[in-house]
Amino acid sequence: MSAGEPADLRHPNHVLDELGFRYDPNNLFQQTANALLEAAEILDLPHHLRLILAQPKIEIMFHFPVKMDDGKYRLFKGYRVQHNNILGPYKGGMRYHADVSLDDIKSLSVLMTLKCSLAHLPLGGAKGGVQVDPRSLSTTELRHLTRRFTAALDGNIGTDHDIPAPDMGTNAQVMAWMADTYMNFNANLGRHQARAIVTGKPIEFGGSHGREKATGQGLVYTLERCLPDVGIALNNMTYSLIGFGNVGSWGARLLAERGSTLVTVMDHTGAIIDPAGIDAEDLATYVAEHGGVAGYPKAEAIDEKTFYQTKVDVFIPAALEQMVHEHNASWLNCRVLAEAANAPCTPAAERQLLERGVLILPAILCNAGGVTVSYFEWKQNRQAETWDLETVDTMLKKHVYSAAEKSIKAAKRFNVDLRKGAYIAALENIGKVYALRGIFP
């Protein structure tokens, strides 16, 4: 940015300013990069590493046509952003959503780098997706779109290079189509080896036991490890949930097994309440049939404000980014906010909640269960092995507990909140590898 640029366009973070960012406090990528850089500053990470980590290594954006059921063609926009691979091959989900944008994908790719490092996985960070509302497509259209998207990604993904996984709007079936498409283009790779191109596949086709529930399971292990520190026990905890998709519904079903009470749920169709507790298993069956929580007959419908204001021990956003913002953060009546979704709180909301003494369990810790079991699936495919559920869960718990302890330790060492602690622990690991390898040449 030139010295003559108006002051309010210059980014207050000197690294983002040096990289030429025009300041936009509402931009998700700038928020995420800024949070990373704040942690880097506390850690005193070398300046050149801050520059490297403040931008993804590779940003791919492309258009591809798909023939729809009515015989007409539609053009779709696809993305894959590869943030950093110092720790290993790029890894990250593929999102199908109408609002997918480059900056959002960039932001999520940064979080993947930090998450893999914190969970001590030999993987880097990436994210991708297609700008589409998957609910508006027929099964045939979804399959054709997935196959064209995978073909268009071409050599940009690979079993040792970049390994996609499910995210919002995609699932095990979509992963199966991705893997099958890749295998058709790469017949030279062995069958097991080629299946390692994506994770989150159906169990019958190289998926791992425990992968579907993994993010919810990781959330439960995070709560199990962190809540006793603030005097909350899982077996008498009350909580609210935004989102009842993969992460939310699995988290709720697993928390029900631990005796927690689900008081309110909100998704894209509406919000419901039952102070005596909503039956997560029953609600999951209802949502599978009706597409959302609206109209669930065993709970009362409420408006959005009531949903946010309901008093609970733990508030769990498990839907979109930036859903907790400066306007609704003041409505929250909870002691802990567990970020099951990626980047669900804006920086302004976070500041407000921290000032009020709310403990925020950061996304790179709370939802690291998904990528951890994805790593287990990748490992099983490469070794032609099948692990049982007990093995997966035991190893997942070890990774989550260790990530939580590293975050807590760093937060204490630097006297910062838990998000900063988690980011510092993740960056410290990355910084060590850069120091050992140096910058080529």
Tell me which residues are annotated as active site: 127
Positions 116 through 145 that interact with ligand NAD (CB under 6 A): none
Q: Extract the tokens encoding 417.
A: 């909140």
d(CA 286, CA 183): 36
Minimal CA–CA distance to 308: which of 329, 280, 294? 329
Q: Which of 51, 320, 348, 416 contacts ligand NAD by CB under 6 A?
A: 320
- 319 scored as a contact of ligand NAD (CB under 6 A): yes
d(CA 327, CA 316): 17
- 29 scored as a contact of ligand NAD (CB under 6 A): no
Ordered alpha helix ranges (H), 66-213: 102-118, 139-153, 172-185, 191-195
- How near is the Cβ of 251 to ligand NAD at its closest, in Å? 9
Q: Which of 56, 78, 166, 347 contacts ligand NAD by CB under 6 A?
A: 166
Minimal CA–CA distance to 310: which of 348, 277, 345, 287? 277
d(CA 24, CA 31): 9
Positions 360 through 389 that interact with ligand NAD (CB under 6 A): 367, 370
Helix 102-118 × helix 389-414 angle, to 10°: 90
Q: Which of 36, 341, 359, 425 contacts ligand NAD by CB under 6 A?
A: 341
Contact 126, 93 (CB under 8 A): no
Dihedral sign of CA atoms 119, 120, 121, 127 in order: positive
Region of 77-85, 161-169, 400-408, 416-424 interacting with ligand NAD (CB under 6 A)? 161-169
- 266 scored as a contact of ligand NAD (CB under 6 A): yes
- 318 scored as a contact of ligand NAD (CB under 6 A): yes
Q: For residues 49 and 293, which CB has a smaller minimum distance to ligand NAD in the complex?
A: 293
Region of 62-70, 136-144, 275-283, 315-323 interacting with ligand NAD (CB under 6 A)? 315-323
Residues in the chain: 441
- How near is the Cβ of 248 to ligand NAD at its closest, in Å? 6
- How near is the Cβ of 323 to ligand NAD at its closest, in Å? 6
- 325 scored as a contact of ligand NAD (CB under 6 A): no
- 342 scored as a contact of ligand NAD (CB under 6 A): yes
Region of 68-76, 160-168, 307-315, 382-390 interacting with ligand NAD (CB under 6 A)? 160-168
Q: Which of 164, 210, 243, 347 contacts ligand NAD by CB under 6 A?
A: 243
Q: Angle at the Cα of 339 (from 432 to 174), degrees rounded to 5? A: 90
Minimal CA–CA distance to 273: which of 281, 263, 282, 283? 263
Backbone angles phi, psi at 305, to 5 degrees: -65, -45
- How near is the Cβ of 166 to ligand NAD at its closest, in Å? 5
- How near is the Cβ of 19 to ligand NAD at its closest, in Å? 25
- 217 scored as a contact of ligand NAD (CB under 6 A): no
Q: Which secondary-structure segment (H or E) carries 64?
A: strand 58-67
Task: Print burial letters for 150-166: b (CB count within 10 Å at least 16), e (below 16).
Answer: bebbeebbbbeebbbbb
Positions 40 through 99 that interact with ligand NAD (CB under 6 A): none
- How near is the Cβ of 342 to ligand NAD at its closest, in Å? 4
The residues of the shown chain that bind ligand NAD, judged by CB under 6 A, are 166-169, 215, 242-248, 266-268, 292, 318-320, 340-342, 367, 370
